[in-house]
Homo-oligomer: A and B are copies of this chain.
Amino acid sequence: MTVMKKTTGRVTLPIEENFLKETKELMERWGADALRDSDGTTMEEEMKRLNAKIYTTYFVARGRNAFAEQHPEEMQQLYLMSTYHTAVDTELEVDFLQGYFTEQIEPDYRHDPKKWWEVIDRTTGKIIESSNWELNQDHDRLLVHDATPWHEYTVSFLAYMKWDPTQMYNHITNDWGDKPHDIPFDARQPHSNQFVKDYLQDWLKENPDTDVVRFTTFFYHFTLIFNNLGQEKFVDWFGYGASVSVAALKAFEQEKGYRLRPEDIVDQGYYNTAFRVPSKAYLDYIDFIQKFVAREVKKLVDIVHESDKEAMMFLGDNWIGTEPYGTYFKEMGMDAVVGSVGDGTTLRLISDIPNVTYTEGRFLPYFFPDTFYEGNDPVIEANENWLTARRALMRKPLDRIGYGGYPSLPYKFPQFIDYVEKVTDEFREIYSEIKDTKPYSGIKVAILNAWGKLRTWQTHIVAHGKSYKQTYSYYGIVEALSGAAADVTFISFDDVIEYGVPNDVDVIINAGDAGTAFSGGIRWKDERLVSAIREWVYHGGGFIGIGEPSAIHHQGRYFQLANVLGVDKELGYSLSTNKYVTETLDHHFITEDVTTYDFGEGSKYVYALSDETDIIEYSDGSIRLSTAPFGKGNGVYMAGLPYSHENTRLLMRAMFHAAGKEEAFNKWHASNIHCEVHAYPEIGKYVVMNNSSSRQETDVYDGSGSVHRMTLEPSEFIWEEIRDEG
């Protein structure tokens, strides 16, 4: 057992009014050195005088209706697509606002619709000449003339977004009644651009006690659109929808040399979600927005710095254009990023962010009544969250942690206060040990998809923190890796085409449903891509395909890397060809620790190309796990990988197998799947973690070839000295 000394710092507490004494107590218990306000709280003067840094939430492009109302022409805009309307005659009236929330959306009649809108025949994909339609602005209807009966039509229209989506969400959810709607204004517009800088300067003067300006966030909210019933209709945490405007479109044309069509933005109604293989036009567009946002944010950060304060950004809400793994992020000069930590993946998403002085993670549970009510034990959620995140912390720690909500709520749960005291101490202990050292990784894996580095730790996310039936079987991969003893990098198809597979990569993972940006869809018809991967695997690389990897039907193959994987998927065209290789191996390195399989939603009808494929799991007429040699390398196929300790082990073994590194697998290793070993050779230490809430026994491989047995209490971790080898 490690004996822990009481430490302080690196923890941020939310404040609450009339809670001074208790705040002091919590600060002491948890070692907090920073205080932050929340929505709806104001920091009292006495609070500001406590021995803590003061974070103050700051909104850039909303919450200033006095300004916004003077400049309705500078309201933020969106391109939206109407629902599909079937023509039953040659005249078709389209109620293009159908299904939209008129408290949020207002058609833009200010700019000539004939120039900025688009009517498309969705049966043929053809654009309807603007002379063939007209608008009835009084009734918000568009009339198509000379329509082809029985074809479907959509209208892509430019609209104003009258209500900030986060405030709208809170307003509606919390029933805020006639509280004014925050009008989002566009920093690209002249008055707004000046205003955001002037206002910040004034505000800084008025808030001398603030140490850290916590931007929540900058200019453009991720796409969040409500329906006519005031419910969420469309949500895309990565969506650039609200960054559109006539001004932006004109500037784009100037900068990139061509004009965008509305279709480049509405994208058949998919609005270029992160699951769509991005078009050239869309990649150009987000580059254009990122560049603009970085430039303008830099100006705000400079203003903050001139006041001797720090600039911190919240990773969410109006974060569009700031992508922390993007090309322009470093130019913003941000001091810190704070974000919400729901698991290991979201921790790494924050802790790996480059070009900032520090990162901070807001841990769960929020201090809200949905967790802190009589009869509930909030320690359970806190413990789960901590154990999941702690794995990732061992690989790359956050610099700070914090909590959100109203601290008076947990204050009524003494066991919770005790537990967080333990967590904050643990966090500081881990941080002090490993903050400047690199953990040992036995293997390096590259996640290959259409986004690559830009969306590091951000694969298969629709809305931050929300699980979808279509995503959990893939999201488990990054979650498993977030706390595993592996180096993880994210590479794009373009990277591979341009630069080849990086030299130090041992294994590539391509995972996702066919046609999505994560699997790759049409990109796999590029012979440069398939050739590069085949060559690399042939010379010893490992390729793991999960779900529908490299899938697009072309020239008799569905998986374009079927030759590497040794499997393909039956689409119904080759039922006439017998699939006679179905026998499974009795035993394989990959599954030595498996007790039960869980491939999540899996994938159907996957079959072996020949008996060179080793089938490890076959059920319900389909291969769920297999491996095949390809030259000196190996392909591994998995149907899916939801997160669990067992699947984490399965994936790690699959990686070492694929890379032909089986013998290195248990250099630093815990035999028990609920335990993990992280080694830090530079500081001569390793740690054995119990990632579970129950007592575990495990064999520990200590890096020297020796094995010893250890017992760990629930959640316990034990530091050991690395023995000199030989």
Interface of A toward B, CB cutoff 8 Å: 83-84, 86, 88, 99, 120, 122-125, 148-152, 154, 223, 227, 231-236, 239, 268-271, 273, 275-276, 462-463, 468-471, 512-516, 527, 530-532, 534-535, 538, 553-557, 562-563, 570-578, 580, 601, 604-605, 610, 621, 631
Contact = CB atoms under 8 A, between A and B. Distances in A.
Contacts of A275: 572-573, 575-576
Contacts of A148: 527, 531
Nearest to A237: B576
Contacts of A125: 554-555
A575 B233 CA distance: 11
A123 B580 contact: no
Contacts of A84: 556-557, 562-563
Contact of A530 (B83, B123, B605): B123
A177 B205 CA distance: 101
B270 A556 contact: yes
A41 to B, nearest CB: 31
Contacts of A471: 575
A656 B84 CA distance: 28
Contact of A575 (B151, B468, B562, B621): B468
A434 to B, nearest CB: 37
Contact of A576 (B462, B514, B530, B535): B462
Nearest to A88: B538
B150 A571 contact: no
Contacts of A232: 578
Contacts of A231: 578, 580
Nearest to A99: B610
B515 A577 contact: no
Contact of A88 (B123, B270, B631): B631
A86 B563 contact: yes
A590 B544 CA distance: 46
B469 A621 contact: yes
B122 A557 contact: yes
A268 B273 CA distance: 33
A273 B123 contact: no
Given A556-B269, A576-B234, A470 B515 contact: no
Contact of A236 (B88, B122, B538, B576): B576
A471 B575 CA distance: 9
A120 B122 CA distance: 36
A534 B575 contact: no
Contact of A268 (B152, B527, B538, B556): B556
Nearest to A621: B469
A572 B123 CA distance: 21
Nearest to A539: B88
A246 B535 CA distance: 39
20 contacts: A84-B562, A123-B531, A124-B527, A125-B554, A150-B532, A150-B535, A151-B527, A227-B578, A232-B578, A233-B577, A234-B576, A234-B578, A269-B556, A273-B574, A275-B572, A276-B573, A462-B576, A470-B575, A515-B571, A601-B604
Contacts of A577: 233-234, 269
Nearest to A512: B572
A232 to B, nearest CB: 5
Contacts of A86: 534, 538, 563
A414 to B, nearest CB: 40
Contact of A122 (B268, B463, B555): B555
A56 to B, nearest CB: 32
Contacts of A557: 84, 122, 152
Given A86-B538, A152-B563, 20 more contacts: A86-B534, A122-B557, A123-B527, A123-B531, A124-B527, A125-B555, A148-B531, A150-B534, A150-B535, A150-B538, A151-B527, A227-B580, A233-B577, A233-B578, A275-B573, A462-B576, A469-B605, A469-B621, A515-B553, A515-B572
A508 to B, nearest CB: 15
A113 B83 CA distance: 56
A610 B233 CA distance: 12
A123 B236 contact: no
A54 to B, nearest CB: 37
A470 B575 CA distance: 8
Contacts of A123: 527, 530-531, 555
Nearest to A235: B576
A154 B562 CA distance: 14
Contacts of A556: 84, 122, 154, 268-270
| 4 shortest interchain CB distances as A-B pairs | A268-B556, A150-B531, A236-B576, A122-B555
Contacts of A236: 576
A719 to B, nearest CB: 42
Given A123-B530, A527-B124, A577-B233, A513 B269 contact: no
Contact of A572 (B516, B534, B554, B570): B516
